[in-house]
Structure 1
């Protein structure tokens, strides 16, 4: 009998729910996978989409992760200054087979000191700030650096999860999960990245300026605490 694989995912207020639920949908279709949603307390946590998700376990009672996943969202920058969150991420990362993030969840890993010297990616609007935390920023949907796997913005989480499924279970199992989800994106516009032909460059610039102004001070404080 195959031993269960424990996927431990951080949940926090103002999480971008698809960062979390996209990969969880993939994980739920993998044999022997057990998912745990972790927060300070077992009480509803409001997502950035306006609805709540209930954690399954507290930090204190969480099992050791085989796969640790940190999603992103506006709230990721709040928990970068939550010592209990960062301690939990460090402890879990020390025993995990894979340490992973989606979107701006990479900044939580960075604030925990786990990105220094590693290749990583995140949402395009905040991408340049990864360097402040000692990471080597890479523009890609999924970036693998040994046991560290980071996904880009939001929908990249599904790509990341399928890549990880292939790593853990083999390509056939990952392909089966993709088919069951009918994951075959055909977006109506070429506007899924800053380089798309339907993208307004002014919107890209405004998004990066907004991210820099609201988030860079938090990222720099995290870097200072780590002595970078």
Structure 2
């Protein structure tokens, strides 16, 4: 089973590394990182570089396709080689998946037309403009598409996918191996649970503008 994880400049690391840790541990899984322009791909924090050797033409028929999000997503919305590749591999893939704003790229490529999907809360409403029904669920499975909400939700999506691919037992074995049993110290992981001050701070970071109270 070949799992193709798409990278592009400005990707968010956990979007792809979380699912990589899960899916890469499934029996007979072969994970390959793929990019439009092979070479050193730098993440959004500009502190992690992945040397990707496989170009799009090198991975013509993966069983699972995964694309993450990040600030660099905005540069991947125009139709071109990546969108053409996504449409081509989607025709034969068992699963086409995304994490965070990666669903925006899938939507722009046209593969999510008429489907339900999720994304990071900051981008969720924009899916409707591409003929996609937005969902606030953390993980959405619709047909052979699986989409995850923001960043950390990629682990949940990958475990869901692991269960669908290899069975519940195999997925739970992976969950135990990576000791995925989250107990966050704060209850601020969603728009509904975060305080107004935390929400404002998050929006300031995401939009690059100063928060209303002048603090970060």
Q: With the length of structure 2 as denominator, give the TM-score of the two structures.
A: 0.90
1:28 maps to: 24
1:74 maps to: 71
Alpha carbons of structure 1 residues 126 and 37: separation in structure 2 relative to 1, 3 Å: same
1:151 maps to: 148
Decide which of 184, 189, 198 is 2:186's aligned counterpart: 189
TM-fit CA distance, 1:204: 3.0
Between the aligned partners of 2:54 and 2:17, the Cα distance in structure 1 is 17
Unaligned runs of 5+ in 1: 214-228
Between the aligned partners of 2:84 and 2:11, the Cα distance in structure 1 is 19
Aligned 8 A contact 2:79 2:109 in 1: no
1:10 and 2:6 matched? yes
Between the aligned partners of 2:173 and 2:6, the Cα distance in structure 1 is 26
SS of 1:178's partner is helix
Decide which of 93, 96, 99 is 1:99's aligned counterpart: 96
CA RMSD of aligned residues (A): 2.0
TM-fit CA distance, 1:41: 3.1
2:59 maps to: 62
Alpha carbons of structure 1 residues 106 and 209: separation in structure 2 relative to 1, 3 Å: farther
SS of 1:115's partner is coil
2:127 maps to: 130
Q: With the length of structure 1 as denominator, give the TM-score of the two structures.
A: 0.86
Between the aligned partners of 1:105 and 1:165, the Cα distance in structure 2 is 19
Unaligned runs of 5+ in 2: 209-216
Decide which of 120, 135, 140 is 2:137's aligned counterpart: 140
TM-fit CA distance, 1:207: 5.2
Which moves more between the two structures, 176-185 or 71-80? 71-80
Aligned 8 A contact 1:19 1:102 in 2: yes
1:68-114 Cα distance to aligned partner (Å, 9 max, x none):
11111111111112511111111111110111100000000001001
